[in-house]
Amino acid sequence: MKKDVLIEIKGVYRQDGQEDQVELLTEGSYYKRNGHYYIAYDESEATGFEGTHTVLKVEEDGKVTLIRSGGTRSQLIIQRGVRHQCHYDTGVGSMTIGISGDRVDSYLDDHGGRLEFAYSLDINTLLASENRVSIHVREQPTP
């Protein structure tokens, strides 16, 4: 199963009392492999990661792995109640950051669905930002 899909991403990022929102509607692919769902798309200038390919791996145990390749290379693991140390490329350099998963809710099936997760990001154990992401995956209409 591999499908061409429309992917709607809404992100809310809170840092130092300021809140910023990002919305993206893009085309991508959606597939299932070894019991895990994958959402794949190319980033755009709107997200600040132009030239980067992003894959979200959604596991049944509520773990989401975000893998970026191309212009920016990163791997972030979001898992409720667990802090993972992850590699993050800022575009001007790489660093190790902490990702503490607050919530992962997956409503995905073979036709698409929703994925929502929230996490805190820390640098040297100091809180850098709190983040909420909502992703809606829909099959593209057949021509």
Distance (Å, whole) CA 71 – CA 49: 7
Looking at 64-73, 96-105, 131-140, which range is the least confident one? 64-73
Q: Quick check: 4 and 140 in contact, CB under 8 A?
A: yes
137 compared with 95, residue with greater pLDDT: 137
Q: Indicate whether 120 pLDDT > 70.
A: yes
pLDDT more than 90, % of the chain: 69
Q: Indicate whether 140 pLDDT > 80.
A: yes
Between the alpha carbon of residue 83 and those of residues 17, 98, 102, 103, 107, the distances in Å are: 22, 6, 10, 12, 23
Q: Taking the model in full, what pTM does it have?
A: 0.89
pLDDT more than 70, % of the chain: 95
pLDDT band at 60 (very low <50, low <70, confident <90, very high): confident
DSSP 72: S
Taking residues 86-102, what's their average pLDDT?
84
Q: Half-sphere exposure (CA, 13 Å, Cβ side) for 95?
A: 12
Report the pLDDT value the prediction gives residue 143, as an integer from 0 to 100.
64
* Residue 82 tokens, joined: 């667990």
Could you give the domains of the chain? 2-139 (2.40.128.20)
Taken in order 19, 49, 127, 7, the sign of the CA dihedral is positive
